[in-house]
Structure 1
């Protein structure tokens, strides 16, 4: 009997561009600046991206440009969460110390603060033009394109 193996990755073929953004701005401020400089209409979605049973959540802003068939997403790559420490001082009355844990949506890019995902049907987006407009924003430290096929955890970008 012959053994047939199906690869699930073969069925998912979504064409999108991914731009990494380094910026210390809050997510809503960055979305405002992108709206202003790139002439977008990004809005915060009601639900964040949650992983591992609410262990970490990442903010997401979205704009569906229906006239040009382009879906824009601004996704936070960093989640900082305060948790109780498991450290024991060995005393009867111990202080509950809090520890700030940091999680990353795409763990290969731990220094990236945000990702701009551009899903399009017609391949009409000029990446160099977008990158030059992003570099003109003084609050953005740097930005560059990322090849989505080289990311191990690219499933985290499916929403």
Structure 2
């Protein structure tokens, strides 16, 4: 009897480009600058990306260009949350202290502030042109292309 196997990795073969952005602006301000310089129409989605039972959440902006069959996503890579610190119960002072913890959507790129994900079906987006326009925005420190196939946590980019 023949044995048939189904490889799950073959299903997710989505063609997209990924651009890393180093920028200390708030997400809404960066989305405005991208809309203005790249001619996009990014809008914040109603729900943020939540991981590990609301342990961390990341803002996401999206524009679905139906005329060119391209979906643009701007997603934050950094989530900062204030949590209670752990302390010993046998201490003299029982004051609770807050600790600021930082989580990353893509842990391999901890220094990156935002990612632009460009999902295009017919491969009509010129990545070099997009990078050149991003470099012309003075508030962006740097931007560069990232190969999504080399990411260990590329499953976090499925949305």
TM-score by length of 2: 0.95
Moved over 6 A (4+): none
The equivalent of 1:16 in structure 2 is 16
Shift of 1:90: 3.4
CA distance in 2, matches of 1:102, 1:75: 16
The equivalent of 2:150 in structure 1 is 150
- Equivalences for 1:109-128 in 2 at 5 Å? 109-128=109-128
Unaligned runs of 5+ in 1: none
Q: Say whether 1:52 aligns with 2:43.
A: no
TM-score by length of 1: 0.95
3-state secondary structure, aligned to 1:111? coil
Shift of 1:13: 1.1
Higher mean C-alpha deviation, range 3-12 or range 55-64:
3-12
Aligned residue-pair number: 159
Shift of 1:10: 1.0
Q: Say whether 1:103 aligns with 2:112.
A: no
Unaligned runs of 5+ in 2: none
Superposed CA RMSD: 1.4
